[in-house]
């Protein structure tokens, strides 16, 4: 490190790094950004080391969060647990001033519009276009992570087909799940559970050439994803908890001038600003299924 350097530390794994650097004598500026939600005080203080983590955060000159609600949770926790007084957007602790601010992560819409104009001709996208020709396409894109709510989404789609039989053969779900931390037991369990639900849905409802769920378990390039966004009439972004979720923003940008409907979980940061989406509670299977049906049947002007 040089005396005029500014450090930028990312995400909860490295919260203690700032404190370690201060102990080593670093006096320069350090910023920290939290990509995940900061929980309520009642949840956060379950941690036996909650106060230690708060002390670690206060050594930073600036702490950035995704949404106003996340920032509120952090400031409320600092006030309740450390009995600190808030001065504007900052706290003074042990002679150091720490600012708490909101910086929602975004995407580059111009780049996506440019890719949307090109449109991807990859084998995967072309194959799906042939397979789903004449159908409404509902798309999900996630890392296979237990915070993303993929099993809940599949159960919702199953409920939709069960209670609205007129949609059978007319709508297909394309679920892209990018492999993530495959050796961690919780992630392996998520994959097994997802495979079981996909198999059950396709076993129950497939007929002729129609397969209700196309589950793609691999990574795709950004251009290929833009091709999927182009083909999707509806995009499901329904995590059970997420800091922001850029798929929601990429889908809207990637559609170009074409209409599309975003079904968005109230529990991700994007819902704070993307208020024209259909906002849902992913734990409410019936309510989310109704929103998907509304998205599929929505008049063109409203789309």
Compute the half-sphere exposure of residue 258: CA atoms within 13 Å on the CB side of its CA: 18
Name the active-site residue from 35, 93, 283, 293.
Answer: 35
Helices (H), the chain: 17-23, 41-44, 50-57, 68-82, 109-118, 123-131, 150-163, 185-205, 222-231, 246-254, 285-297
Q: Is 300 a catalytic residue?
A: no
Name the active-site residue from 56, 142, 145, 242.
Answer: 242
CA distance 43 to 265: 20
Max alpha carbon distance in the chain (Å)?
A: 71
CA distance 33 to 63: 6
CB neighbours of 1 closer than 8 A, spacing ≥ 6?
A: 7, 26, 28
Helices (H) then strands (E): counts for the chain: 11, 12
Look up residue 199 and give its DSSP letter: H
Token pair in block for residue 49: 């080391």
Q: How far is CA 7 from CA 30, 57, 66, 101, 112, in A?
A: 5, 14, 19, 17, 30
Please provide the distance, in angstroms rounded to a whole number, between the alpha carbons at the two ends of the chain. 52
Q: What is the dihedral of CA 248, 213, 143, 102, to 10 degrees?
A: 20
Q: How far is CA 87 from CA 6, 60, 84, 92, 98, in A?
A: 24, 16, 9, 8, 10
- Say if residues 230 and 256 touch (Cβ distance below 8 Å): yes
Q: Is 35 a catalytic residue?
A: yes
The catalytic site residues sit at 35, 242
């Amino acid at each position: 490190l040089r005396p005029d350097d500014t450090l930028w530390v990312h995400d909860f794994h490295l919260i203690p790094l700032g404190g370690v650097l201060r102990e080593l004598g670093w006096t320069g500026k350090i910023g920290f950004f939290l990509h995940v939600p900061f929980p309520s005080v009642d949840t956060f203080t379950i941690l036996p080391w909650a106060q230690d983590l708060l002390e670690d955060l206060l050594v930073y000159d600036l702490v950035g969060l995704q949404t106003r609600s996340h920032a509120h949770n952090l400031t409320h926790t600092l006030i309740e647990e450390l009995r600190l007084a808030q001065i504007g957007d900052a706290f003074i602790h042990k002679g150091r001033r720490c600012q708490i601010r909101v910086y929602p992560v975004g995407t580059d819409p111009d780049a996506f519009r440019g890719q949307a104009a090109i449109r991807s001709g990859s084998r995967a996208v072309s194959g799906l276009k042939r397979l789903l020709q004449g159908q409404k396409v509902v798309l999900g894109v996630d890392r296979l992570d237990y915070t993303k709510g993929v099993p809940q989404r599949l159960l919702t789609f199953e409920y939709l087909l069960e209670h609205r039989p007129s949609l059978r053969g007319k709508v297909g779900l394309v679920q892209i799940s990018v492999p993530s931390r495959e050796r961690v037991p919780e992630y392996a369990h998520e994959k097994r559970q997802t495979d079981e639900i996909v198999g059950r849905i396709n076993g129950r409802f497939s007929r002729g050439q129609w397969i209700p769920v196309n589950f793609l378990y691999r990574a795709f390039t950004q251009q290929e994803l833009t091709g999927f966004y182009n083909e999707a009439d509806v995009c499901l972004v329904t995590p059970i908890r997420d800091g922001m979720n850029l798929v929601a923003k990429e889908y809207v940008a990637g559609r170009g001038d074409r209409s599309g409907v975003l079904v968005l979980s109230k529990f991700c940061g994007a819902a704070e600003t993307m208020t024209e989406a259909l906002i849902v509670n992913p734990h409410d299977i019936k309510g989310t299924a109704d929103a998907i049906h509304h998205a599929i049947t929505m008049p063109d002007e409203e789309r």
